[in-house]
Every structure is written in C-alpha cells, then in structure tokens.
Structure 1
Amino acid sequence: MSRKLPLDTLISLATTRTDDAARRLGVLQTAHTSTHQRLTMLLEYRQGYYDQLQLLMDSGMPSAQWSNYQRFLQTLDRAIEQQRAIANHSTSQLDGGRVDWQQQRRKLNSFDTLAERAATQLRLAQGKQEQRESDERSGRAFAQRGSRSFG
C-alpha cells in the first residue's frame, strides 16, 4: 500500500516550475543566439562595405558617391548599435533565465531530499513495527509451547 507523502504536492509543483523555467531558458537561449547572429551579420556586412569603399577610394571616386557610402555606413553603424543593445538585453535575459532555472532546480532538489528522508524514516518505522510484531508472535508461540509441555 503506497502512502502519499505530504511533500508530493510540493515536489510536483517544483517539478512543474523547474520544467517551465527550463522551457523559458530554451526560448531565451534561442533568442540570444539569434540576436548575436544578427549582430555578427551586420558587423560583417559593414566590414565588407567599408572594404569596398576603401578599394573605390584607392582608385578614385566622385565625392557624391563617397557621401552616399558615408551615409550608408552611418546608417549601418546605427543599426549595429541598436542590435548591440538588443543583444546585450538578450544576454541579460538569458542570465536571468539561468538564475531562475537554477533556483527552481535547487528547490526541487531540496524537496526531493526531504522526501527521501521522510521515506527512509517511514521504512525504518515500518521495519521496527514489523520487528516488534515478529517478536510478539515469537514470544506468544514460545509461551504456548511452554504451557503445552507443562500441561
């Protein structure tokens, strides 16, 4: 007969919260990876565009074309700074998600430990009870044999 421990409800709730935190952490990790990939892509695109500008400048280029390149590079720089801010925010959220998951996991581990201790105590108490009952049966059987031999 399985007896439900009082901690079972807490363990179930902690398991659900830990699983939810793990799912949120996965979403945050995906977002973090995506934002950093976009930042890397923008940086590489800017570098390529800058390298192209350098080649054109070496061979001579009209000032209007140079101005267009400069404006475009400034636009790219603003986009890079915005993406860098998004990536930094994503990193902060990911760090927070890790902390949340770790806290939930620690709570679950604590409840599991308490449940294991309670189960061990229950088994010990049941073992002692069974031993007492066995001792009593043996004592009664011995007493009955002793009374038959004198009777």
Structure 2
Amino acid sequence: MSTTLPLAMLIELAQNKTDEASRRLGQLQRAQIGAAEKLEMLIRYRQEYYDQLQSQMQDGLPSSSWRNFQHFIATLDSAIEQQRAVASQADSRLAHGRSDWQQNKRRLSSFDTLAERARQQQAQLANKREQRSSDEHAARQFRQRMLAAAE
C-alpha cells in the first residue's frame, strides 16, 4: 500500500503532463497547418498575379505597370520568404512538441507498467494468503477428524 499511493500520484501527474502535452501538440499542429496554408496561399497568389502579367504583356504593358508589377512581386516574394520562415519554425515547434508528447506518453506507460506489476504482486500475495489459510483450515479439519476417529 505504501508504494501504491506514491505510484498512483506519479501516474496522475504523468497523465496530467501527457494530457497537457497532447493539448499543446494539437495547438502546434493547428499552427503548423495554418502556416503551411498561408504559405501555399501566398505562392498561389503570386503565381496568379504572374499569370495575369504574362497575359497583359502579350497585349503590351506600359513601363509604369511593369515597375508596379516588379515592386509588387518583390513584396510578395518577401512575404513568401517570411512565411517560409514562419512555416519552418512551426514545423520545428511541432517536431519538438511531438517529441515532448512521446516522452510524456512513454513515462506514463512506464508508470502504468509498474502499477500493473504491483497489482499482480498484490494479487499473488493475496492468493498465497488465501491458499495458506485454506491449507491450514483443511489441516485443522483433518486433525479434528483424526482426533474424533481416535476417540
């Protein structure tokens, strides 16, 4: 019983940490998906804008429009690079969060294994006590029958 209580407390703490790591992992996954989607959107937008430029260039494009296009594409490229950095950081955080969750899960599993072993040992001790009690009871009955038969 003395090892069961601290072990139960450790299991509860490990379960709480694992639950918290699961919540963080979910948040990190959502952030990573959001960052990847935003990056994809920026890349698509740049491609659409570039396709429009190609179409306009076939019909002739004033130099002021060309400069505006170059400026806008440069701004988009900068935003894409920044978003790539954000997405990379999100990937890194997600990998770290996944590792943290796995570590907490392994720790919880280890405590569960220890608790199961303790339960099995307690069950074996209880079975031995019950067997010993049963054997002693049978031996007393046998002795009483032998004494009764001897009289």
What TM-score does the superposition give when structure 2 sets the normalisation length? 0.95
Residue 126 (structure 1) shift: 0.8
Per the alignment, residue 148 of structure 1 pairs with 148
Residue 141 (structure 1) shift: 1.1
Partner SS, residue 4 of structure 2: coil
Per the alignment, residue 98 of structure 1 pairs with 98
Provide the alpha-carbon RMSD of the alignment. 1.5
For 2:77, the aligned partner's letter is D
Residue 3 (structure 1) shift: 9.1
Is 1:114 the counterpart of 2:114 in the alignment?
A: yes
Task: Map 1:45-64 to 2 at 5 A.
Answer: 45-64=45-64
Per the alignment, residue 10 of structure 2 pairs with 10
Per the alignment, residue 31 of structure 1 pairs with 31
Residue 4 (structure 1) shift: 7.9
Per the alignment, residue 86 of structure 1 pairs with 86
Residue 48 (structure 1) shift: 0.5
For 2:41, the aligned partner's letter is M
Percent identical among aligned pairs is 51
Task: Map 1:128-147 to 2 at 5 A.
Answer: 128-147=128-147
Q: In 1, Cα distance between the equivalents of 2:74 and 2:52?
A: 15
Q: Structure 2: which 5+ runs fail to align?
A: none
Q: In 2, Cα distance between the equivalents of 1:61 and 1:30?
A: 42
Q: In 1, Cα distance between the equivalents of 2:148 and 2:49?
A: 109
Residue 148 (structure 1) shift: 1.6
What TM-score does the superposition give when structure 1 sets the normalisation length? 0.95
Q: In 2, Cα distance between the equivalents of 1:131 and 1:26?
A: 51
Partner SS, residue 130 of structure 1: helix
Q: In 2, Cα distance between the equivalents of 1:65 and 1:135?
A: 101
Q: In 2, Cα distance between the equivalents of 1:109 and 1:145?
A: 53
Paired residues, number: 150
